[in-house]
Amino acid sequence: MNLPKDSNMALSERKQTHMDRGVVIRDAWPGYPLDLFTFPEHYLGDLECVYIPHGIIMDRTERLARNIMDDLGDHDIVVLCVLKGGYQFCADLVERIEVLCCNSSKTLPMRVDFIRLKSYLNDQSTQDLRIEGAENLPVLSGKNVLIVEAIVDTGKTMKTLLDHVKAFGPKIIKVAR
């Protein structure tokens, strides 16, 4: 598989097929009733319904892992996990990729690094992005990079991060969110 020198297409921006569209939740969706699920008792007064069951989230995470394997299988990658929110998603995604590697002829050697982004001062958004863990980013030079982030709001922070990561000269940058 020949990989383009500078591909910045996010995995979520891939050409979508009917199998890749994901789960659509309409604004009027009432959610699933709580009696269908078990959850810690101390949440009882705070929950009204469940919008997305854990199983659906894990199925989508596995689908994303398969997409990553299709795109990058047999090429070393550096997984750059954006803390704190991205930790569990990243752990689940890396685990699914490892399972797929065990059950296929493709391999995806991975190194996982962590960074933390700070663009808020108290409760106010600022123009400045502080990256904790940036001292490890020179390792990205010439590598295939997969940035794993849980939530992308306006996209400003992600754009700034992508520009910062590009400065280290990675071969490919992809974003899983």
pLDDT at 2 over 70: no
Quick one: pLDDT at residue 4? 40
Structure tokens at 39: 């959850």
Question: Is the pLDDT score of 11 beyond 50?
Answer: no
Quick one: pLDDT at residue 5?
43
Q: What is the percent of the chain with per-residue pLDDT over 70, rounded to a whole number?
A: 82
**What was the pLDDT predicted at 24?**
79
When comparing pLDDT for 153 and 102, which is higher?
A: 102
CA 19 to chain centre: 19
Q: 114 pLDDT exceeds 50?
A: yes
1: confidence class by pLDDT, cuts 50, 70, 90? very low
Is a pLDDT exceeding 70 seen at residue 122?
no
Residue, of 17 and 49, whose pLDDT is higher: 49
Q: What average pLDDT score do residues 126-142 get?
A: 83
| Mean pLDDT to the nearest integer, 46-50 | 91
User: Is 123 a catalytic site residue?
Assistant: no
Burial class (CB in 10 A: 0-12, 13-18, 19+), 79: buried
SS3 175: strand
Q: pLDDT tens digits, residue range 53-93?
A: 889 889 999 999 999 988 887 788 999 999 988 899 999 99
Structural domain spans, the chain: 40-176
In sequence order, the 6+-apart residues with CB closer than 8 A to the CB of 130 are 117, 118, 119
Q: Is residue 146 a contact partner of residue 64, using CB atoms and an 8 Å limit?
A: no
What element of type H or E holds 172? Answer: strand 172-176
Structurally, what CATH architecture does the domain formed by 40-176 represent? Answer: 3-Layer(aba) Sandwich (3.40)
So what's the pLDDT on residue 25? 80
* pLDDT for 149 beyond 70: yes
Catalytic residue among 71, 92, 153, 163: 153
Count the alpha carbons within 13 Å of 63 in the hemisphere toward its beta carbon.
17
